[in-house]
Structures are given as C-alpha cells and as structure tokens.
Chain A
Amino acid sequence: MPVINYIYIAIALFSIGVVGVLTRRNAIIIFMCIELMLNAVNLMLVAFSKMHQNAAILAGDLAGNAGSDGQLFVFFIMVVAAAEVSVGLAIIVMMYRNIHSVDINFLNRLKH
C-alpha cells in the first residue's frame, strides 16, 4: 500500500478534528476532537514505521527491527493522552460545578 494513502487519510482525520474544535462549543466535544487529532497522528506514525521497515528490508537488512521507534512513539502518545484525559475531564467537571454549563463561551472572564 503506498504510504501517501495513509498520509491523506491522516490529514483528513486531522482536519475534521480541527473543524470540530473551531465550530463546536461543548467543551467535551472539543476535547474529543483533540483525541481524534492525536489518533490521526498515531496512524501516520505507524504507517511511517512500516515504510521504514519496508525500506530496510529492501536495503538488505532482514533481521533488524528498523521502524519500531515509530510504534513506540505511538505507545507513548497513548500514555500521555490517557493522563491528559483524566486531568482534562476533572477540569471540565470542576467547570460544570462552578458555572453549571460546559459551554466554552461562558469562559470569557479573562476578557473583562
């Protein structure tokens, strides 16, 4: 499979995430769109790691594990995303407790 196909799909998913962040006002949905963007990047990293392995095998390196770095980066991105979600949802719950809404347009106190 040409790697450009994977890049196009990752770009599409990332752009959908950006559109979601820009158009929605519910804080939880904005957070979910950020998760979608992280997943698009993960997909592209895995595709690139397999591309590196393919290139290494074509170059004659049959036993090596070229490209496994990319998949470990994906693993660490997942670790950081899990930690981020726990803290972010705690912040959203606190915000809901204080202003009884998750609409981000009410969060404009710094403007005044």
Chain B
Amino acid sequence: MNIIQLLFWFLSVLAVFSALMMVTSKNPVYSVLWLIGTFFAISGHYILLNAQFLAIVNIIVYAGAIMVLFLFVIMLMNLNRETEPRKNRWLKMAGAVAGGCLLLVLVAALKETAGKEQFAMVNEGNIGLIRNLGKELFTTYVVPFEISSVLFLSAMVGAVVIGKKD
C-alpha cells in the first residue's frame, strides 16, 4: 500500500466519520465544527486528485465563508446549548432506515455497472490547475459566469429584504 492509497483511505475515513458525528451530535456548534472537518477532508481529496483550484475554493468558500455564517447565526440565536426537544424514537429510526435503504439501493445499482475498472487520475494531470480552469471559464463558460454574478446580486438583495425588520 503506497502513500497515495494510505492518504486516500485516511481522508475517506475522516470524511465519513466527521459526517456521522455531524449528524449525531446534539449541540449545533459541534455539528458545525464536525462539518468543517468533513470539508477539509474533501479538500484533501481534491488535492489528491490534483484539483488544486477547487481545493482552495472549497476551503475558502465552504469552510471559510459558509460555515462562519452558520456559526454566526447559531450564536446570534443563542442555540449553543442542547435545546432540541425529545423526539419520537420511532420516527428517528424510520429516518435512519430510509437513509440506509437509499445507501443499499445505490450500492446495489452500482454492482453490475459498466466502467467500474476505470481509473481516476491521481496526483497528476493538469486540468485542475488554475491556468487551465481560468482559460476554460472565461472562454467557453463566460455566459454562465456572468449570469452567476446576477444570481449573487439577487441573493444579496433577497437576503437583505428577507432579513429586514418590518
């Protein structure tokens, strides 16, 4: 087992474990922190796949901006204690069973699929570098890029309008 496989399994176990802890922990602040751990593990996967631009953007946008926003909202609402009331145990179990069934169905659907022997290129290849992606983004995808700026503007206006005290 070489170093790349070792890193791959380490990051995978870290991501899945952090996600499980995020779902199961009672305190919302701990949930946010575990989710940040998951995002860092996924960024490590991106670096392993040599998608360096996406790794950096994932850390800056998700772990940096979005999770700080979540943390601020939780602290503004003073939710950093275990306020979640006792809930029907059967409903919880039904949710877990339904999610497990989804997992089972997806794994079973992959069992007979073609192309399982394809390999993802790890630790080499230059399409994830910022030079390549920037060239592609500003030539082929320039119209969606501009439209996303309009989306951001509307999201900003919408957040201000919704959050305004009336």
Please list the residues of chain A having a beta carbon within 8 angstroms of any beta carbon in chain B.
1-9, 11-20, 22-26, 28-29, 31-33, 35-36, 39, 42-43, 46-51, 53-55, 57, 65-69, 71-72, 74-76, 78-87, 89-94, 96-97, 102-103
Residues of chain A within 8 A of B116, CB atoms compared: 2-4
Residues of chain B within 8 A of A15, CB atoms compared: 99-100, 102-103, 106
Residues of chain A within 8 A of B70, CB atoms compared: 28, 31-32, 85, 89
Q: How far is the CB of A41 from chain B (nearest CB, A)?
A: 11
A14-B61 Cα distance, complex, nearest whole Å: 20
Q: Determine the residue in chain B with the shortest Cβ distance to A36.
A: B19
A19-B115 Cα distance, complex, nearest whole Å: 29
Which B residues between 1 and 31 are near A, CB-CB below 8 angstroms? 4-5, 8, 12, 15-16, 19-20, 22-23, 28, 31
B interface, by DSSP: helix, strand, loop or mixed? Answer: helix
Given A1-B8, A43-B45, A68-B133, verify A85-B19 contact (CB < 8 Å). no
Q: How far is the CB of A112 from chain B (nearest CB, A)?
A: 20
Determine if B119 and A32 form an interchain contact, defined as CB atoms under 8 angstroms apart.
Answer: no
Determine if B66 and A23 form an interchain contact, defined as CB atoms under 8 angstroms apart.
Answer: no
Determine if A50 and B49 form an interchain contact, defined as CB atoms under 8 angstroms apart.
Answer: yes
A32-B159 Cα distance, complex, nearest whole Å: 18
Which B residues between 34 and 91 are near A, CB-CB below 8 angstroms? 35, 38-39, 42, 45-46, 49-51, 53-54, 57-58, 61-62, 65-66, 69-70, 73-74, 76-77, 79, 84-85, 87, 91
Q: Give the top 3 A-B pairs by smallest Cβ distance, nearest first.
A: A22-B95, A19-B99, A83-B155
Interface residues on chain B, size class:
35 or more
Determine if A90 and B4 form an interchain contact, defined as CB atoms under 8 angstroms apart.
Answer: no
Residues of chain A within 8 A of B74, CB atoms compared: 28
A–B Cβ pairs within 8 angstroms, 11 of them: A1-B4, A1-B5, A39-B38, A42-B54, A50-B122, A54-B118, A75-B57, A82-B152, A82-B155, A91-B162, A93-B73
A8-B107 Cα distance, complex, nearest whole Å: 7
Q: Determine the residue in chain A with the shortest Cβ distance to B160.
A: A90
Q: Determine the residue in chain B with the shortest Cβ distance to A89.
A: B73
Residues of chain A within 8 A of B62, CB atoms compared: 35, 39, 78, 81
Q: How far is the CB of B162 from chain A (nearest CB, A)?
A: 4
Determine if A26 and B84 form an interchain contact, defined as CB atoms under 8 angstroms apart.
Answer: yes
Q: How far is the CB of A36 from chain B (nearest CB, A)?
A: 6
Residues of chain B within 8 A of A13, CB atoms compared: 15-16, 19, 38
Determine if A16 and B20 form an interchain contact, defined as CB atoms under 8 angstroms apart.
Answer: yes
Residues of chain B within 8 A of A85, CB atoms compared: 66, 69-70
Q: Determine the residue in chain B with the shortest Cβ distance to A68.
A: B127
